[in-house]
Amino acid sequence: MTVRTELTQPYSDQKPGTSGLRKQVPIFQKIHYLENFIQSIFDSLEGCQGQTLVVGGDGRYFNRPAIQTILKMAAANGIGRVLVGQSGILSTPAVSCIIRKYKAFGGIVLSASHNPGGPQGDFGVKYNIGNGGPAPEKVTDAIYDRSKVIDQYQILDNEDIDLDQLGTVQLGSMTVEVVDSVADYTELMESLFDFGKIKQLLSSGKFRMCMDSMHAVTGPYAHEMFEGRLGAPAGTVINGKPLEDFGGGHPDPNLVYAHELVEIAFGDDAVDFGAASDGDGDRNMILGKKFFVTPSDSLAVMAANAHLIPGYKDGLAGVARSMPTSQAVDRVAEKLGLDCYETPTGWKFFGNLLDADKATLCGEESFGTSSNHIREKDGLWAVLFWLNIVAERQQSVEEIVTDHWKTYGQNYYSRHDYEGVASDKANTLMDNLRSALPSMPGKKLKSYTVEYADDFSYTDPVDGSTSAKQGIRIGFTDGSRIVFRLSGTGTQGATVRVYIESYEADASKHGVDPQEALGELVAIANQVAQIRSLTGMDKPTVIT
């Protein structure tokens, strides 16, 4: 077995985005494209020789060949041991769990999360550090810098290994352990939640649940957990077989893309509880019977009820949300006397807060919630958290949320996405807003008055690092907000995201359709950003 050095030329487009390097599969298949990026990772990691790495992906097209390449390159670069999920499968939260449990040096996650897969779909590579979380910007910047000048990579000349067979094999001087994809993660979940109580609920015959794995990575985990250990009837998990193209679907758990679940939870014979997760298993959507829980409300309800859950019964150190996430959790934090942090979009910004024990629960409007049990967001964890709350409170999801609004008020919230906008148009939209910021405070827009207008900048309270230009915020005197950002996770053109929020304390005004409740703010957003004239679109492509 020999280590081969291949000469290569740099690509200029390997800058990791919000969540690693994401490109369409044909781009990853360009000559040396994947290899360049992987070598750039190894070149940027000081002290990785002889260490353990975790490798796995969401099973999408190109997962297996990419893993074989990565293993051979890891061996050639002096990595000591790799733990790889059976058949190449590991959900993103499972990678985080395994890195932490086995004190690995880091991990490589292969996924484009909720983006469609298949030969013409998307693929992605993300590096996670030893705390189990996404690499911070100083690491991803170093990888990018390296990718711009790379001229060679190392790879072991070797046969592919059998990824389907559990056990240990040697690859040169490196050990590869093919590990059970589900076991460590399930064990961690059992340590946090009251499985006995959830089992009573799910096996009672009186409570029906549907979990939509969207033909993505959580299928095996969900079958094992809900139907295996928690006694839910077979058939509770739908679309539970991971497919390379996710069955042609878009594995993003929202009301638009998880339509099969939505039909089941909102149909005539609606189930009591519905949930879905995304391509790599870190996102979640929670539904009650004919009832949608916004991700921002979900975080707030979790924070308010955490004391009911065994893993969190001693209380929370604090909570954190991304800037565009609604301020519902802030109200819970205030009442419970907890610190509440506001970070830029991107799970990586929670890592330091969790490591420093400043926050226990974190969440984002983009259907992500998790805690300090790992350093990624965690779809099935959120589902179990909700089931545990329902089992404790013996109330429906809708009752739990409407009770919550009575106590804390309701933060009406909606996100409007304009997808596939030409990048120059999207940049003009943001630049125009940016230049208008200084003139905005004090301005009256319809019945609202602007209190502040800025471009969000974050200073990490742990390491002092700053991240500027994280989204335009227009705050009104009554606490309402409009936020504008460009997505950092798309692969084609630009996506303009508009986040709209208002607050309603009066319970008699709760439960109105958010599009109605937020109508005036939506009109203001269109007016100040000139969305229609700049994008040529008269309505959003997706509303969540």
Residues noted as catalytic: 113
d(CA 430, CA 456): 13
359-371 as b/e: b if 16+ CB within 10 A: bbbbbbbbbbbbb
280 binds, among ligand G6P, Zn ion, none (CB under 5 to 8 A by kind): Zn ion
Listed in sequence order, the residues at least 6 apart from 283 whose beta carbon sits closer than 8 Å to its beta carbon are: 113, 114, 252, 253, 277, 366, 367, 368, 377, 379
Angle at Cα 374 formed by Cα 498 and Cα 350, nearest 5°? 40
- With CB under 5 A as the contact rule, the residue among 40, 52, 77, 113 that binds Zn ion is 113
Least Å distance, CB 299 to Zn ion, is 17
CB of 229 to Zn ion, least distance (A): 24
CB of 177 to ligand G6P, least distance (A): 27
Specify the residue, 113 or 140, whose C-beta has the smaller distance to ligand G6P: 113
Is 541 a residue that touches ligand G6P (CB under 6 A)? Answer: no
**Is 252 a binder of ligand G6P (CB under 6 A)?**
no
Q: Are 331 and 299 in contact (CB under 8 A)?
A: no
Which C-beta is closer to Zn ion: that of 64 or that of 114? 114
366 binds ligand G6P (CB under 6 A): yes
SS3 content of the chain, % helix, strand, coil (to 5): 35, 25, 40
The footprint of ligand G6P on residues 323-352 (CB under 6 A) is 345-347
The two tokens of residue 373 are 């049990």
Q: Is 376 in the site for Zn ion (CB under 5 A)?
A: no
Q: Is 501 in the site for ligand G6P (CB under 6 A)?
A: no
d(CA 501, CA 4) in angstroms, rounded, equals 56
Q: What residues pair up with 413 in beta bridges, in sequence order?
A: 501
249 binds ligand G6P (CB under 6 A): no
Q: How far is the CB of 50 from ligand G6P (least distance, A)?
A: 30
19 binds ligand G6P (CB under 6 A): yes
Number of residues that bind Zn ion (CB under 5 A): 5
Residue 473 as a binder of ligand G6P (CB under 6 A): the answer is no
Sorted by sequence, the CB contacts under 8 Å of residue 474 that are 6+ apart come out as 440, 450, 452, 453, 481, 482, 483, 528
Stretch that binds Zn ion, among 94-102, 145-153, 163-171, 274-282 (CB under 5 A): 274-282
Residues of span 95-154 touching ligand G6P by CB under 6 A? 113
89, 117 Cβ separation under 8 angstroms: no
Which residue type does 270 have? A
Which of 380, 239, 395 minimizes the C-alpha distance to 308? Answer: 395
Q: Which residues bind Zn ion (CB under 5 A)?
A: 113, 278, 280, 282-283
Point out which residues bind ligand G6P (CB under 6 A): 18-19, 113, 322, 345-347, 364, 366, 368, 487-489, 497
